[in-house]
Structure 1
Amino acid sequence: MSIDWQLAATVGKKVARPGPITTGYTLTAAREELASSAVAAEAPVREVTGLADGLPVPTARILDRGGWIEAATLSMSAMLDTEEEDSKPGISGRLAGVQAGGVLALLSGAILGQYDPFTPDPESGNDGVLMLVTPNIIAVERALHVVPGDFRLWVCLHEVTHRVQFSANPWLRDYMSSNVEALTAENSESSSEMVGRISAAMKNGRQREKGIVGAMQLLQSPEQYEAFSRMMMLGTLLEGHADHVMDAVGPAKVPTVDRIRTAFDKRRTRPQNPVQRLLRALLGMDAKLAQYIRGKAFVDEVVGTVGMTRFNAIWTGPETMPLPTEIEQPRLWIDRVL
């Protein structure tokens, strides 16, 4: 099925909530500071990670919520649609476009920044573009009562780390793309085969797994679940590594980093009302939060034990990616890989 991504962008921009009220001067100043912070973040990220030294520094795209929705639809169209480009979406494709637009509208109010490895940079034409969503960053820094300049640089450190991860290790893009392709492939199982597999899994106790992972293991084919697991581990590593770098840069560059981290983590884990909890579950936001927490604990322990230079063996290839058991017990990864 070809999703109508153009319709998704139209719907998403139409129903997305407006950003916080700001003056034109404040908005312009924030955009300019985010652009300069994205450049300023490159040197400390490269120094801390030991990655991408000498590569050119690209310009970040500073977007509003509508701009992010447009960029997201372009990225997902390139990543997910495998049908001919000139094929027109049918009724099911338009319906899927409306649904995708609604999801993107919700996400557009939560995304602070994003590195998209699948969309070409408008300036250089190279794969990968770094995006920062100005109204969301302003909204969060106001809610946390933190120093705006410090918070903007702190956010840029995270997103620039993602850019450096992919630019220093080009295989990551193909690895992610191949797993997405496997994850979204048609399931060749018959209904009876699927029912039999789910029944066997439940009898064997696999239903005891909690949350999204357990559900995915039951509903997907073995090949799809393996791809899903690899994507979960990759996401956990990328997010945890970026969070580690954000804090490792330290007060030399972000004087109020400790205050920001404390306030930000408190906001991430604050109680939610039932509707918010449902939306978070449907959008996978709780799974994303778990990736940050588990991934950062893994990177903190490995780097603290062997140092960043030896940690960077993790970027060698798919075979050095952490396994699910190794995320929980980093010593197992150290023993296997190092």
Structure 2
Amino acid sequence: MAGGPTAGPAAPAVHPVDWAFAARTAEALTVAGPRISAREARGEAEGLRVAAAASVPHVHRLTGLEAARDLLDSQVLVVDRPTWSRANTQSFAALLGPTFAHLQATRPAEYEAATTPVATRATALEMGGILAWLSAKVLGQYDPFSALPGPDGVPAGPAGGRLMLVAPNVVQVRREIHVDPADFRLWVCLHEQTHRVQFAAAPWLRGHLRSEITGLTGGLFDKAESLPERLRSALAAANPLAGSVRGRGGGVASHAGGEAGPAVTSGRPSLGLLGAFQDEEDRERLSRVTAVMSLLEGHANVVMDAVDSSVVSSVKTIRRRFDERGDRRSAVDRAIRRILGMDAKMAQYRDGQRFVDAVVGEIGMDGFNVVWDAPELLPSEAEIHAPETWVARIRAEA
């Protein structure tokens, strides 16, 4: 493929994934959440809504981004596990529409074979199983892609996307680490609201990231040997936005955007199935997407860790216990995370946080904030690992 499909082609009426069946499968396979009364559930939902609103002024103060003053174009939803899974199938469908249109145009016979009821349900079954597992791990997720038109041409969410807070998982993790409920809710919301502010501060970012993801998934479809491999890889690559709060030493898994598959060499964490199909062009695309995700996740972690006890009274206890929790996972849980490429996602958080910390330490938050001005000011993956090179480039272009 020369350059991959663009984001422009209209999505075909029938996808190689039965998204509705994937959502139903995820709901059927989702494990039950913590036991909680109806009264407690209502209180938790209200507490999360309060925390989401309360976190915005702190994000504004810590980031200095004026976009944090007005986030009315997006929405905040408190959801359960099946609702989170269903929402992600909607976003996947919107993101992969141009890629499927490209496949339909370039390989019509293969596409027709891939869109039989049996084939679409088989892929949806696998997707639903992954989402069911992940739905029990995610604390929150800002999804900018819900504003994209789905297969029916109708966006799933408002123009600014949607922030989802998965209430049963917030309750479960909070109980496991024994921390103050209100403090924990606010700590989680600081991270997720930062993502919301990032996309508000950089209106071009949604289209830029979608274009990169479309090129990457299109390349995977063109180069993999079998359609099942292409589908799994495209689904893994399609929505890499982090769906949870995580820290330097561990945390809760991201949502279905995590790369899936076996490990690759070179000393880096597993990139999953994505690592199996890359030529030079694909590697460059993946590097750009990795750099953006490292930036977004690292920046959000910097913000959530920048609050002091006057904002979140038990912030140091929360961070310590939250990180310790990541070290107590079972062997099965660790194996699943390796299969889904979660090590690579964890590296994005750590690398991005080191980058942001270093840049802010050198040129201040205002200097760092030029990164939201234009795509060409985004750091490369090499610059993420060598922040001084990005700083030097920005100073030279000033």
TM-score, normalisation: structure 1: 0.88
Q: Is the 8 Å Cα contact of residues 63 and 131 (structure 1) preserved in structure 2?
A: yes
Match status 1:105 vs 2:132 = yes
Q: Is the 8 Å Cα contact of residues 75 and 161 (structure 2) preserved in structure 1?
A: no
Return closer, same or farther for 1:123/1:16 CA change in 2, 3 Å cut-off.
closer
Q: Is the 8 Å Cα contact of residues 301 and 353 (structure 2) preserved in structure 1?
A: yes
Match status 1:72 vs 2:88 = yes
Following the alignment from structure 1 to structure 2, what is the Cα–Cα distance between the partners of residues 26 and 332? 50
Aligned to 1:37: 51
Letter of the structure 2 residue corresponding to residue 211 of structure 1? P
Query: Residue 258 of structure 1 is aligned with which of 311, 316, 340?
Result: 316
Letter of the structure 2 residue corresponding to residue 67 of structure 1? T
Aligned to 1:228: 286
SS in 2 for 1:211: coil
Aligned to 2:235: none
Query: Residue 76 of structure 2 is aligned with which of 53, 57, 60?
Result: 60
Letter of the structure 1 residue corresponding to residue 21 of structure 2? L
1:3, distance to aligned residue in structure 2 (A):
1.0
Segment of structure 1 superposing worse, 130-139 or 172-181: 172-181
Aligned to 2:203: 170
Q: Is the 8 Å Cα contact of residues 80 and 167 (structure 2) preserved in structure 1?
A: yes
Letter of the structure 2 residue corresponding to residue 238 of structure 1? L
**Which whole-Å deviations, capped at 9, do the CAs of 1:34-92 have from their partners, x for residues lacking one?**
011111111110121122044244541000001111111111111113347xx994222
Match status 1:92 vs 2:119 = yes
Following the alignment from structure 2 to structure 1, what is the Cα–Cα distance between the partners of residues 224 and 127? 27
Letter of the structure 2 residue corresponding to residue 284 of structure 1? G
Return closer, same or farther for 1:53/1:63 CA change in 2, 3 Å cut-off.
closer
Following the alignment from structure 2 to structure 1, what is the Cα–Cα distance between the partners of residues 68 and 143? 20
**Which whole-Å deviations, capped at 9, do the CAs of 1:9-39 have from their partners, x for residues lacking one?**
0000000001001111111101001011111
Following the alignment from structure 2 to structure 1, what is the Cα–Cα distance between the partners of residues 165 and 272? 33
Q: Is the 8 Å Cα contact of residues 223 and 277 (structure 2) preserved in structure 1?
A: no
Return closer, same or farther for 1:334/1:207 CA change in 2, 3 Å cut-off.
same
Match status 1:115 vs 2:172 = no
Q: Is the 8 Å Cα contact of residues 371 and 378 (structure 2) preserved in structure 1?
A: yes
Following the alignment from structure 1 to structure 2, what is the Cα–Cα distance between the partners of residues 324 and 124? 31
Letter of the structure 2 residue corresponding to residue 81 of structure 1? G
Return closer, same or farther for 1:67/1:216 CA change in 2, 3 Å cut-off.
closer
Aligned to 1:336: 393
Q: % of aligned pairs identical? A: 40
Length, aligned pairs only: 322
TM-score, normalisation: structure 2: 0.75
Gaps spanning 5+ residues in structure 2: where? 1-14, 102-111, 149-154, 226-263
Q: What pairs up with 1:1-338 in 2 under 5 angstroms? A: 2-51=16-65, 52-57=67-72, 58-82=74-98, 83=100, 89-90=115-116, 91-120=118-147, 125-187=158-220, 188=222, 207-213=265-271, 216-217=274-275, 219-268=277-326, 270-338=327-395
RMSD: 2.5
1:326, distance to aligned residue in structure 2 (A):
2.1
